[in-house]
Structure 1
Amino acid sequence: MYNKDSVSDMQKRVDDFISQFEEGYFSPLSMLARFTEEVGELAREVNHTYGEKPKKATEEENSIEAELGDLLFVLISFANSQNISLDEAFDRTMEKIETRDKNRWTKKE
């Protein structure tokens, strides 16, 4: 089936799901709008959890975890729609960060 530790397997799982529908992936602009919506929903949950804005009694239960999951799904969908390997993108980003920022902060002893 799928290896839960592999981003490429997550990308395959999302692709298997979306590929069964005629509509397929949304356009890049729609994907960006969805991503932005999900970031907003995550911000709302963080504000409810750590900020000064409590939830209304009528609001549904939600969690930061659920919103991060939604955001991950949209990110994977966006990457898939652009034929981008998130494994490769992540590796390149970490190489850049590990080089650029290796002496930026105080290292633990």
Structure 2
Amino acid sequence: MTNEKIYNTKEMQTRVNDYISQFEEGYFQPLSMMARFTEEIGELAREVNHVYGEKPKKTSEQQNTIEDELGDILFVAISFANSLDLDVAKAFDKSMSKIETRDKNRWTRIEKVEDESNE
């Protein structure tokens, strides 16, 4: 097991803010942040295509992983939230509540198997 720290969303937002706050430039403007987010999504798409698609990676290409690219997207998303003074946990909760309500009957549920020892 690795010694990686598990962060809650508040700690993640604080860590990103502490990093960005070191620089005079600070957070990017929303339109630039959106472009940055789109760029990172493209990098994730490229990596997924290398792993699961028909386009193998060139030997000259840098070795990235899907996990690396998702981490970059998370950093940009948190930076975007921080720049707009939004709480990531609150945004996540609102989104999950919407999805859990809107999509609760959208897909086929997995049937729960009764424990045979209780029969």
TM-score range (shorter-chain normalised) is over 0.9
For 2:26 and 2:83, the matched residues in 1 are separated by 9
Percentage of pairs with the same residue: 68
1:88 corresponding residue in structure 2: 90
Could you say which structure has the larger radius of gyration? 2
The one of 32, 35, 38 aligned to 1:33: 35
1:21 corresponding residue in structure 2: 23
2:117 corresponding residue in structure 1: none
2:81 corresponding residue in structure 1: 79
1:61 corresponding residue in structure 2: 63
8 Å Cα contact 1:4-1:10 kept in structure 2: no
Provide the TM-score with structure 1 as the length reference: 0.94
Note the C-alpha offset of 1:5. Answer: 3.6
1:100 corresponding residue in structure 2: 102
Backbone CA RMSD of aligned residues: 1.1
Query: Structure 1 residue 9 and structure 2 residue 50: aligned?
Result: no
For 1:59 and 1:47, the matched residues in 2 are separated by 14
Please tell me the residue identity of whatever aligns with 1:15.
N
In the alignment, structure 1 segments of 5+ residues that lack a partner are none
Give the paired residue count.
Answer: 107
